[in-house]
């Protein structure tokens, strides 16, 4: 077994690898860029080596720097994590040639499966069902349009070297194809250094299901069942679970057998994932094989009890698998929510900045029968950089069944608190509370189907309304009690122009809150003091946690996906407030604002130019993704305030219209 491993990655996967190495008694070396000098991974590792500037192309993607760090520290093996050099066959070959173990599959397997075009041809030759498409290289938009017409729209445009949801577009027409082809090639060139593109038929209402495989250097391969990753946005996975609510045992075994057969055909000898697109009728087609550990691997670990990172290390060290297929079984259900630095209320645009607050839910076993796991590479006070993926954490919950796991995830999301950057906690909570998600009726179009106009939060249900009224009244009472201490308070609580007359009695059991039609709710076990960003309590025997922001005339309160301004006032003042109009947002109809912090890739209009609604006017890049900005109406350009290469902040004015 290795005594020292170098981690050629960063963030939460680096922290994840370090945890397993510690348990195995293996020393770790963490490489880092300028942006990651004070990272959690650097703090946790036994040694660290600086490898260059923040851009990945100048640090984490430079094989020479990684190998030099191995030589400097005497590491015996390299774990590449996911992304960066993890699926680079030439890097794996260089390590092998220099006597350094690569904790991943052999270079030949990476070459056979890592390239999407080659892998599809290989899979077809091996008898694995594949999605109809054109696997040859395509050079021009005109050629792409011609081939797409032959396949039949809708058609997916994919970067051959792509991964992580980047370098993918769906075209529904010739115009979409011409524009999307150019965008995918540009994204692929910038993100992967490889602009090859291929086309495949887009399956309507598909589900994304993948099989985890594990092999050793002695010809043994097993599968560890499936994960469903259908909840996606812009082809980026958001919520994953294991097992899949779609599959029956026969389909599960059929998919697993195909995945194992494909892995054996290329002498696969590490952890890998065979991805399928599945129809609602349980038909399935091979998409690609990821020759690395997946972001969502924790849900497989939770239902099987197998540490996949440990198995990768043991395989790379030459050990045979310690178990056979018949030794593996599914135990319970696990769900993973990816917590991203992004603003769900602004089209999920990336957010960067400092995590001024970060409260994590308690990990481990809970009284409700669930287990909570939180994989994160950042701490309170850390910076979310524009140079890397915006993931903050992977929050995972295991339960004995799917319903329990979902309920446990909803509670864990409530308990998580973040400040300083936009984050998607309200959106994740909304999905957990949706009847459709709870029913298991999933598709990769789920988010577009359920939130066609974007995410704007949800209206509070009766319980959440009680929570908001009771929480606001209790906090107000607590603050008032510091100056006087009556045993009863009478106020009016105002939400969205609606008043609720409230009487709050301090009793031995808790807070008795009587309001409106005389209903009484009892709040107990309250944990809050002025300045805390969360309030935890029990309302009518149901525990809850709300997020609190103090305002001059009340509180902003969020419970899961419901968020409201709640004011606690005297009845007379409440009457005045109820008649006041809400402040209107400024009129930005004659401007195009930057939707996020980023870098201007191109500006495609000039002053005096007439443009049409829907016309592309600029391209901005952030978090390695290019976003096309379009005009919302016909207009004439008055002024252009930026140029290609400029760095911009969120809400900066880019273009003005006459």
Bridge partners (DSSP) listed for residue 6: 29, 78
Q: What is the per-residue pLDDT across 531-551, written as a single tens digit (0 to 9) for each?
A: 899 999 999 899 999 999 998
C-alpha separations of 425 from 238, 249, 358, 415, 418 in Å: 11, 33, 12, 10, 9
Mean pLDDT across 408-422: 96
For 227: left if phi > 0, alpha if psi spans -120 to 50, otherwise beta; the answer is: beta
Q: What mean pLDDT comes out for the span 188-210? A: 88
pLDDT band at 389 (very low <50, low <70, confident <90, very high): confident
Per-residue model confidence as pLDDT tens digits over 150-195 = 888 989 998 888 766 678 899 999 999 999 999 999 888 887 888 8
| Averaged pLDDT for residues 227-245 | 95
Band the pLDDT of 485: cuts 50, 70, 90.
Answer: low
Q: What is the mean pLDDT of residues 373-397?
A: 94
Structure tokens at 474: 């209790």
* pLDDT tens track for 273-285: 999 999 898 989 9
CB 607 within 8 A of CB 639: yes
Average pLDDT over residues 544-561: 94
Tell me the DSSP string of 238-278. EEEEES-SS--HHHHHHHHHHHHHHHHHTT--SEEEEEEEE
Predicted pLDDT of residue 377: 96
Residue 146's pLDDT is: 93
Confidence of residue 505 (pLDDT cuts 50, 70, 90): confident
**254-268, 349-363, 497-511 — which is least confidently predicted?**
497-511
Residues 425-430: what's their mean pLDDT?
98
Residue 75 carries which DSSP code?
-
Candidate ranges 186-200, 324-338, 470-484; pick with highest mean pLDDT: 324-338
DSSP classification of residue 235? T
Distance from C-alpha of 444 to C-alpha of 232, rounded to nearest angstrom: 6
DSSP code at position 458: B
- Give the H or E element holding residue 63: helix 63-73
More confident residue, 575 or 502: 502
* Model pLDDT, residue 624: 63
Q: Read off the pLDDT of each residue in 44-61 and give the average, rounded to a whole number.
A: 96
What pLDDT sits at residue 300?
98
Considering 26-35, 506-515, 520-529, 584-593, the range whose residues carry the highest mean pLDDT is: 26-35
The model carries a pTM of: 0.83
Distance CA 356, CA 419 (A): 5
d(CA 398, CA 133): 38
Structure tokens at 185: 């090639």
Q: Look-up: residue for tokens 């704007």?
A: 456
For residue 196, give the DSSP letter: -
Calculate what percentage of the chain has a pLDDT beyond 70: 97
Band (513; pLDDT cuts 50, 70, 90) = confident
Average pLDDT over residues 401-415: 98
C-alpha 18/C-alpha 356 separation (Å) is 25
Taking each helix axis from N to C end, the angle separating 308-316 and 297-304, rounded to the nearest 10 degrees, works out to: 100
- Helix, strand or coil for residue 474? helix
C-alpha span between 333 and 243 (Å, rounded) = 6
Cα 290 from Cα 274, distance rounded (Å): 6
Catalytic residues: 288
Integer Cα distance of 28 and 6 in angstroms: 6
Task: Name the residue among 284, 324, 16, 340 with its Cα closest to residue 164.
Answer: 340
Half-sphere exposure of 376 (CA within 13 A, CB side): 24
pLDDT of 487 > 60? The answer is: no
Q: Which pLDDT belongs to residue 655?
A: 95
The model's confidence at residue 97, banded by pLDDT at 50, 70 and 90, is: very high
Give the span between the Cα atoms of 635 and 628, in whole angstroms: 18
Q: By the 8 A CB rule, do 287 and 250 touch?
A: no
Model confidence at 625: pLDDT above 80: no
Residue pair 385/358 in contact (Cβ under 8 Å)? The answer is no
Mean pLDDT over each residue of the chain, to the nearest integer: 92
Q: Is 274:259 a contact under the CB 8 Å cutoff?
A: yes
- With a cut of 90, say whether residue 372 has pLDDT above it: yes
What is residue 543's DSSP assignment?
E
**What's residue 626's pLDDT?**
77
Instruction: Band the pLDDT of 578: cuts 50, 70, 90.
Output: low
Sorted by sequence, the CB contacts under 8 Å of residue 629 that are 6+ apart come out as: 592, 595, 616, 617, 618, 619, 620, 654
The Cα 377–Cα 35 span in angstroms is: 13
Cis omega before residue 336 (within 30°)? no
pLDDT at residue 202, rounded to an integer: 85
- Provide the pLDDT for residue 632: 79
């Amino acid at each position: 077994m290795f005594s020292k491993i170098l981690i050629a990655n960063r963030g939460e996967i680096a922290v994840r690898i370090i945890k397993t190495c510690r348990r195995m008694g293996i020393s770790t070396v963490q490489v880092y860029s300028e942006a990651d000098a004070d990272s959690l991974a650097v703090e946790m590792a036994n040694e660290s080596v600086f490898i260059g500037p923040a851009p990945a192309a100048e640090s984490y993607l430079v094989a020479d720097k990684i190998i030099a760090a191995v030589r400097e520290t005497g590491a015996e093996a390299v774990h590449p994590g996911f992304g960066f050099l993890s699926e680079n066959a030439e890097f794996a070959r260089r390590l092998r040639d220099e006597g350094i173990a690569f904790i991943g599959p052999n270079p030949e397997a990476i070459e056979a499966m890592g390239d999407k075009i080659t892998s599809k041809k290989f899979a077809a030759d091996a008898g694995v069902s594949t999605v109809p498409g054109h696997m040859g290289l395509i050079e021009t938009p005109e050629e792409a349009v011609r081939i797409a017409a032959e396949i039949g729209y809708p058609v997916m445009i994919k970067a051959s070297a792509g991964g992580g949801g980047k370098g993918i577009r769906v075209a529904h027409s010739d115009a979409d194809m011409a524009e999307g082809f150019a965008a995918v090639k540009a994204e692929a060139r910038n993100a992967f250094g490889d602009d090859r593109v291929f086309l495949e038929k887009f399956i309507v209402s598909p589900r994304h299901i993948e099989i985890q495989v594990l092999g050793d250097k002695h010809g043994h391969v097993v599968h560890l069942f499936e994960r469903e990753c259908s909840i996606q946005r812009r082809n980026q996975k958001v919520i994953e679970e294991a097992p899949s609510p779609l599959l029956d045992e026969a389909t599960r075994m059929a998919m697993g057998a195909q995945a194992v057969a494909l892995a054996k055909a290329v002498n696969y000898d590490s952890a890998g994932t065979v991805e399928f697109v599945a129809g609602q009728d349980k038909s399935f087609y091979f998409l690609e094989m990821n020759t690395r550990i997946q972001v969502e691997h924790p849900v497989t670990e939770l239902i099987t009890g197998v540490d996949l990172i440990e198995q990768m290390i043991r395989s790379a060290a030459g050990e045979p698998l310690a178990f056979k297929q018949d030794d593996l079984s599914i135990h319970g259900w696990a769900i993973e929510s990816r917590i991203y630095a992004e603003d769900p209320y602004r089209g999920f645009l990336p957010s960067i900045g400092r995590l001024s607050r970060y409260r994590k839910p308690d990990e481990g076993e809970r009284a409700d029968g669930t287990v909570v796991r939180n994989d994160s590479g950042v701490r309170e006070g850390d910076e979310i950089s524009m140079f890397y993926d915006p993931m903050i954490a992977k929050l995972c919950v295991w339960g004995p069944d799917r319903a329990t796991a979902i309920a446990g995830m909803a509670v864990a999301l409530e308990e998580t608190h973040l400040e300083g950057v936009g984050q998607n906690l309200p959106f994740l909570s909304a999905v957990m509370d949706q009847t459709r998600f709870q029913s298991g009726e999933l598709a990769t179009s789920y988010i577009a189907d359920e939130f066609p106009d974007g995410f704007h939060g949800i209206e509070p249900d009766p319980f959440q309304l009680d929570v908001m009224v009771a929480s606001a009244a209790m906090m107000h009472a607590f603050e008032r009690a510091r100056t006087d201490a009556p045993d009863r308070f009478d106020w009016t609580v105002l939400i969205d122009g609606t008043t609720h007359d409230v009487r709050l009695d301090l009793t031995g059991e808790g807070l008795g809150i009587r309001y409106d039609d005389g209903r009484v709710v009892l709040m107990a076990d309250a944990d809050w003091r002025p300045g805390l960003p969360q309030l935890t309590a029990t309302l009518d025997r149901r525990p809850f946690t709300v997020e609190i922001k103090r305002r001059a005339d009340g509180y902003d309160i969020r419970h899961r996906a419901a968020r409201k301004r709640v004011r606690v006032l005297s009845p007379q003042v409440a009457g005045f407030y109820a008649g006041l109009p809400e402040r209107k947002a400024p009129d930005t109809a004659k401007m195009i604002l930057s939707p996020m912090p980023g870098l201007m890739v191109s500006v495609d209009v000039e002053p005096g130019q007439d443009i049409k609604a829907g016309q592309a006017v600029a391209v901005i890049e952030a978090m390695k993704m290019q976003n096309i900005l379009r005009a919302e109406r016909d207009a004439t350009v008055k002024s252009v305030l930026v140029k290609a290469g400029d760095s911009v902040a969120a809400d900066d004015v880019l273009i003005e219209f006459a």
